[in-house]
Structure 1
Amino acid sequence: MAAKKMSESFSRALIEEVQRWSEMKQTGVSLKYMMDFGSRPTQRNLLIAAQFLHKELAIRIAHRAQELENLPYGLSEKPAILKVRDWYLDSFRDLRMFSEIKDSEDEIAFTQMINRIKVRHNNVVPAMALGVQQLKQDLGRKIVPGDLPEIHQFLDRFYMSRIGIRMLIGQHVGLHDPNREPGRVGQIDTRMSPLKVARNAIDDARVICMREYGSAPEVEVFGDPDFTFPYVPSHLHLMVFELVKNSLRAVEERFMNSDKVAPPIRIIVADGIEDVTIKISDEGGGIPRSGLPKIFTYLYSTARSPLEEDMNTTSGATMAGYGYGLPISRLYARYFGGDLQIISMEGYGTDAYLHLSRLGDSQEPLPD
């Protein structure tokens, strides 16, 4: 299929509007602000939030749509990237066509519309990964870390922006949930137990490991079971799931043909004044020092590529292969002021340190 430029698929007026909106300034919010504001979901507050999102989401989506049109190395022409660009343009058009939000009826209709946008964008990450894989195949040479820095910087910006857009939509939609649990403010759990979330993520990762290898190493968790703090459980689940999945794979592959029992993966949750830190330790043989710079790049994966899998499938969780689990997990940690560090001992194993900011008052790191 020939690549269609934006001007062939969308009206000139819409394209000009995207360009204009992509020059407007984005407004970051903090976890603390979302929590404080959302703890009083009165009709007036929901109306104010919807009016803010009506403009803010259009600005953020325009920034990304504009960038998707102008990527280096011909990445913009890859079919998977064109598909993503069209999703962003459709969503921008939906937002701009939605008239002014004046009352609760408008606000409810707007909430339903932005939830449809969120669903439309569900497969953006595998689609982008597919586009990057298509680029790698076209370049036809072995890409080493440090290659194509513009692509890495673009993907960091793009994925960080996506986390923010989905957080804002999910937060607003969540405030309407009549069945939300006590202590829930939209997507934020004001009394989240990191141990409980970690255990759920471990169970999910072990199921996938079992499916892939027929067995899965044990995972031991240490920490205060009564400790809670405000955070977004879905974000923490994603990060712990990715890290545990990597550890399970490393241990499983190292001990697969050994007569030794695979050693357990150990998880420690530490409650600090500034940060909650989760350490995930495995004895999976570690990563050579020369390989460490590669692990946070989007063009690298030690596993086989699931490129052939249809990106429209909803199963979503392969054991490995897209090469974006770690870099995206680090973006999720950084989104609310935390970080992710990997320290490895080749010949022994790897420690991942997931730092989550306790204060919750750092602003979203908004890419241009």
Structure 2
Amino acid sequence: MRFEHRFLGSLVKDWYLDSFRDLRAFPEIKSMKDERAFTDMIKAIKVRHNNVVPTMALGVQQLKKGMDPKIVYEDLDEIHQFLDRFYMSRIGIRMLIGQHVELHNPNPPPHCVGYIHTKMSPVEVARNASEDARSICFREYGSAPNVDIYGDPDFTFPYVPAHLHLMMFELVKNSLRAVQERFMDSDKVAPPIRIIVADGLEDVTIKVSDEGGGIPRSGLPKIFTYLYSTAKNPLDEHSDLGVADNVTMAGYGYGLPISRLYARYFGGDLQIISMEGYGTDAYLHLSRLGDSQEPLP
């Protein structure tokens, strides 16, 4: 078991070493041809690292199997702080690479400056992310609760749609799973997930509410750690880590902490409020990008 998580860590380290060598070995850029070659190279680096998160998650889960079950996860500050720094650094690197590559797109989407959409509709992104999450729920359970979205679809603000989609997908997926499993054997109709988009002066706030039974108060400190999941882990030593979109309803144990990092990357935050026996409210605070700075780890 110890060998497995060390092997996975070594695999990720090798990816970073290969990318560092590619960058160091690239000759000085002296022409547009050189610049295009550089863009192709960093695009390939981005693809190489697509599976860093699930590979690291598998390594952490293997580490967890070999740990004393009496260890309190939130006391493992060194592991959590390292992973927070590691994943925040990864978000920043991928943002820079993605921005550079997209700025070279000869046919950029309307209102886009690289990765940043200057007129992004949070309602539209929430709708798309909800549809994606419901399709995963249908695939695993054969049905899915409805998702009701409240907010002005014409309201827009500058943000990175890919980041918001990732966060909304994770939050809605968690709520769908909780409601689906709570009402699966019930005669009652599963209540819908409710998404509310609020346009504030400082922040744009999105609330995702469900009636999935909530989280015990004793469990709340664990939900933002990388060693906790309420579901069976879908990753094992036989997983196909070559598939970047290998998505299941739950079990990886990193969705919420990484979603919070994405929110904090642009000065926002993610909070979870639970009513055990009823449901959970997730508050996603998005800072407007006008005065945000990158939170370097």
The answer to whether TM tops 0.5 is yes
Amino acid aligned to 1:305: N
Q: Indicate which of 122, 127, 139 corresponds to 1:194.
A: 122
Give how far 1:140 is off.
4.8
Give how far 1:155 is off.
0.4
Give how far 1:142 is off.
4.7
User: TM (normalized to structure 2)?
Assistant: 0.96
Give how far 1:139 is off.
2.3
Amino acid aligned to 2:90: R
Amino acid aligned to 2:29: I
- Aligned twin of 1:344: 274
Per-residue deviation, residues 23-49 of structure 1 (Å, max 9, x unmatched): xxxxxxxxxxxxxxxxxxxxxxxxxxx
Give how far 1:107 is off.
1.1
> Unpaired segments of 5 or more residues in structure 2?
none
Alignment of 1:122-141 (within 5 A): 122-141=50-69
**Contact kept in structure 2, 1:344 and 1:351, CA below 8 Å:** yes
Alignment of 1:300-319 (within 5 A): 300-308=228-236, 309-319=239-249
Q: Indicate which of 285, 293, 296 corresponds to 1:355.
A: 285
1:326 aligns with 2:256: yes
Q: Indicate which of 30, 55, 60 corresponds to 1:102.
A: 30
**Contact kept in structure 2, 1:136 and 1:143, CA below 8 Å:** no
Give how far 1:316 is off.
2.1
User: TM (normalized to structure 1)?
Assistant: 0.78
Per-residue deviation, residues 182-231 of structure 1 (Å, max 9, x unmatched): 21111111110111111000000000001111110010000011001010
Q: Indicate which of 239, 248, 265 corresponds to 1:335.
A: 265
**Contact kept in structure 2, 1:333 and 1:354, CA below 8 Å:** yes
Q: Indicate which of 256, 266, 279 corresponds to 2:184.
A: 256
Alignment of 1:23-38 (within 5 A): none
1:221 aligns with 2:180: no
Q: Indicate which of 90, 94, 118 corresponds to 1:166.
A: 94
| DSSP-derived class of the 1:360 partner | helix
> Unpaired segments of 5 or more residues in structure 1?
4-74
- Aligned twin of 2:218: 290
Amino acid aligned to 1:319: M
**Cα RMSD for the two superposed structures:** 1.6
Higher Cα Rg, which structure: 1
Give how far 1:307 is off.
2.2
Give how far 1:143 is off.
4.2
Per-residue deviation, residues 14-70 of structure 1 (Å, max 9, x unmatched): xxxxxxxxxxxxxxxxxxxxxxxxxxxxxxxxxxxxxxxxxxxxxxxxxxxxxxxxx
Give how far 1:97 is off.
0.4
Amino acid aligned to 1:134: Q
Give how far 1:359 is off.
3.9
Give how far 1:138 is off.
2.2
**Contact kept in structure 1, 2:158 and 2:289, CA below 8 Å:** no
Give how far 1:124 is off.
0.2
2:245, 2:57 → 1: CA distance? 16
Higher mean C-alpha displacement, 225-234 vs 94-103? 94-103
| DSSP-derived class of the 2:66 partner | helix
**Contact kept in structure 2, 1:145 and 1:293, CA below 8 Å:** no
Identity, in percent, stands at 78
Give how far 1:149 is off.
1.3
Per-residue deviation, residues 225-272 of structure 1 (Å, max 9, x unmatched): 100101000000000000000000000011111111111110000001
Amino acid aligned to 2:255: G
Higher mean C-alpha displacement, 96-105 vs 249-258? 96-105
